[in-house]
Amino acid sequence: MIYFFIALECYDLGRVAYTHGDFYHTLMWMQEALDHLDTETNNTSINKIDILDHLAYATSQQGNVEHALAVTKEILTIGTPDHARANNNKVYYETIIRNRTLTKQKRKDDMNMNDSTNLKLISTISNDQNYTINNERLDDDLEEQELYEKLCRQNGAQLSPKHQAKLFCRYRHNNHPYLILQPIKEEQLLDQPAIYLFHDIISDSNIEEIKSLALPRLQRAVVRDSTTNTFKPADYRICKSAWLRNEDSPVVARLSRLIEAVTNLSMITAEDLQIANYGVGGHYEPHFDFARKTDNDAFSGLGVGNRIATWLTYMSDVEEGGATVFPLVGGHLKPKKGSAAFWYNLHTSGEGDRNTRHAACPVLIGNKWVANQWIRERGQEFRRPCSLNPMA
């Protein structure tokens, strides 16, 4: 199903970006709201002047002073000529343009522009004039962020035939008595790093029991600040989480035993099961599950080593969005209720595998439930022996 936003929804998204000082997205969403408003009939839910007001400020912050002036004039044309803020802004923009020198470099400085060949240019019409405006993005790691967003839109890199030829579906039992009579359906999704998807891992009834246990314990999820070694909420992770122990329910204990049987890793030092709920807009931007050596006190006091592997159980389908993506290798996992993803975070040498950097895409429609099981190094000495090759 294809869902189309209406003008009010585009405006609301632009407002959120505006309040966070994100004028790159403010400009895009306000322009979308304006375009939608012009095609919608009898729309009384949003005032065009409100859209133009936000658009003018956002485009000025992105260095488009002439465009900001044109949008401001449009406010005065369709609204009241005595609109105080619009009149003040008009004088301000006209002053900037009048005082601007004719030298190209000075013009770029005044407009907060540079010589980058990667400027995001948008063609638009404001106050009956054509404009090509700059909408440059200022993220700390722009390349990774754009890869992440492309994968979330499912238009990222595709695996080459060489890599696809290495991927298979099979039954896995590991000669474990728990799995001999009912082996697990395994699908390998990537080869470098090796990422697996196990199907039909948990029943709907067991999922509902786990969710009912977690629901009253859910709290805003936190992340570890590597500089202060403390846990706190962060804008790049928006979800709620709760922790369940094996003692909380036989269902949790059975899932733990199943994970051990499938992965052939000891669960003695594994962390408690983390249940996470992502509502609409919930996401987790690119991150590592393992602690890096450069992190402050990364291993101090743990006594169980680093996170050697991640097991991620999907406890719901998601209508739109919510995929798990791996930006550095082009991996894209769509949530499928009852399935589980698995990968090693560390090479056999104990060095972190940087290709496992992953993210949870924003949920667009629906609700996403997952269960994270992080398995630690201690106890795996004979199950996954160490290698002297740092990248093995």
Q: What is the pLDDT of residues 357-377, one digit of tens each?
A: 999 999 999 999 999 999 999
CA distances to 60, 68, 133, 336 from 96, in Å: 11, 11, 17, 54
CB atoms within 10 A of CB 351: 17
Query: Does position 69 have pLDDT exceeding 70, yes or no?
Result: yes
**Which pLDDT score, from 0 to 100, does residue 46 have?**
87
Same domain flag for 161 and 293: yes
Query: Does position 141 have pLDDT exceeding 80, yes or no?
Result: no
Residue 71 belongs to domain spanning: 7-108
Same domain flag for 179 and 100: no
Same domain flag for 103 and 159: no
Same domain flag for 65 and 200: no
* CATH for 13: 1.25.40.10
Same domain flag for 202 and 96: no
Query: Does position 2 have pLDDT exceeding 80, yes or no?
Result: no
Query: Does position 103 have pLDDT exceeding 50, yes or no?
Result: no
Same domain flag for 304 and 192: yes
Whole-prediction pTM: 0.81
> For a pLDDT cut of 90, what percent of the chain falls above it?
68
What total number of domains does the chain contain? 2
**132 inside domain:** no
**308 inside domain:** yes
The residue whose two tokens read 């939608």 is 36
Q: Confirm if 242 and 272 have CB atoms less than 8 A apart.
A: no
Q: How confident is the model at residue 102 (pLDDT cuts 50, 70, 90)?
A: very low
Q: How confident is the model at residue 121 (pLDDT cuts 50, 70, 90)?
A: low
CA distances to 76, 199, 308, 341, 342 from 180, in Å: 76, 16, 26, 21, 20
Single residue among 91, 108, 125 that ends a domain in this structure:
108
Same domain flag for 71 and 213: no
**237 inside domain:** yes
Q: How confident is the model at residue 1 (pLDDT cuts 50, 70, 90)?
A: low
**183 inside domain:** yes
Same domain flag for 70 and 176: no
Q: Confirm if 322 and 296 have CB atoms less than 8 A apart.
A: no
**349 inside domain:** yes
Same domain flag for 192 and 79: no
pLDDT tens digit string along 4-62? 889 999 999 999 999 999 999 999 999 999 999 988 877 778 889 999 999 999 999 99
> For a pLDDT cut of 70, what percent of the chain falls above it?
88
Same domain flag for 176 and 281: yes
